[in-house]
Amino acid sequence: MALIDTGLDATLVGYTSAGFAARRLSVDEPFPAVSGKHVLVTGATRGIGRAAVERLASNGAVVHAVGRNEDALAQLVEETAGTVVAHTADLSLLESVVGLADDYVASGQPLHGLVNNVGVMPPSRTITAEGFELTYATNLLGQYVLTRRLLPALEVEPSRIVMVSSGGMYSAGLTADNIDSSEGPYAPTEAYARTKRGQVVLASEWASTMGEQGITINAMHPGWVDTEGVRDSLPRFYRLTRPFLRTAEQGADTIVWLIASDESSDATGEFFHDRLARPVHRLKRTHDEPDTRRAFMEQLADDAAPFLAPQQEN
């Protein structure tokens, strides 16, 4: 089975719905109940995030669904069985992220799970009102600030964090200088892949310190999933691969497994796909040096500093 599994990934068939089936995974498999556990999911109003919300809520969690579109959030709450609490925030704007995190911490509720799922691939280089490149702000920096500011709620009881990355990160090496795609011509897939690599590195860098706080953190990739995000950002890819794409439920499976399963409770600092830890490099050219990691972590800390509580700054 291990050989088949490796072959599935090497040929990219593993990313499709056929790969999900070949691994004998099922979205109907019950996970242990997460009754009364609080789980916050970003990018919750559609696609993979929405599927994760639905699955976690049906499994008994109190799901805090974050989105920027109030109507879509209201619809999600109405249509989902179980307890879903809507939180409005624009996750590309760090002041908005700070407001979301601080409101949550002030509510006094513990947080047992955080799913950093929001992700974008803008067609052209776009700068937010706060001066950050949009892909970087949404896919990485905002998630850095959200996670750090939520730590007081995450530390209360054992908790798990999931960074939703992408198989696209295999094409990118780690960069500190160009994490905001300020150098060279802008290519959406490259800008996206750089931030997705960044999420995987962040999970591995944070794992040991967070372990001391009773928190596990893992990255994962969902495979190729039929969502509006893929349809809008990669229309040609979408047209070609549509019959083979996973459902959003299949894409969300490993997220829910990482949050809810007993099997995954000790895992930390890893990169998962279809419930197995995977290599973080497939190409020689993407391997990074300790200096690059240090510079990357410093860059994030510098950019995040104005948005962290004073005692949280490095």
Ligand X SMILES: NC(=O)c1ccc[n+]([C@@H]2O[C@H](COP(=O)([O-])OP(=O)(O)OC[C@H]3O[C@@H](n4cnc5c(N)ncnc54)[C@H](OP(=O)(O)O)[C@@H]3O)[C@@H](O)[C@H]2O)c1
Given the residues 104, 144, 192, 238, the one annotated as active site:
192
Which member of 143, 181, 227, 264 binds ligand X (CB under 6 A)? 227
Q: What is the CA radius of gyration of the chain?
A: 18
Those residues whose C-beta lies under 8 Å from the C-beta of residue 274, and which sit 6 or more positions away, are 14, 19, 20, 23, 25, 223, 253, 254
**Binding to ligand X (CB under 6 A): which residues in 99-158?**
117-120, 138
* Cα–Cα distance measured from residue 171 to residue 209, given in angstroms and rounded to the nearest whole number: 28
Interface with ligand X, residue 16, by CB under 6 A: no
* Cα–Cα distance measured from residue 212 to residue 199, given in angstroms and rounded to the nearest whole number: 20
CA-wise closest residue to 309 among 149, 117, 109: 149
Rounded to the nearest whole angstrom, what is the least distance from the CB of residue 295 to ligand X in the complex?
24
Which member of 57, 111, 114, 164 binds ligand X (CB under 6 A)? 164
Interface with ligand X, residue 45, by CB under 6 A: yes
Q: Is 159 helix (H, G, I), strand (E, B) or coil?
A: strand
Q: Is 215 helix (H, G, I), strand (E, B) or coil?
A: strand
Our answer to whether residue 104 is catalytic in this structure is: no
Interface with ligand X, residue 252, by CB under 6 A: no
Which member of 229, 260, 269, 278 binds ligand X (CB under 6 A)? 229
Pick between residue 30 and residue 123 the one whose CB is nearest to ligand X. Answer: 123
Annotated catalytic residues are 192
- Which residues make up the interface to ligand X (CB under 6 A)? 43-49, 67-69, 72, 90-92, 117-120, 138, 164, 166, 221-222, 224-225, 227-230
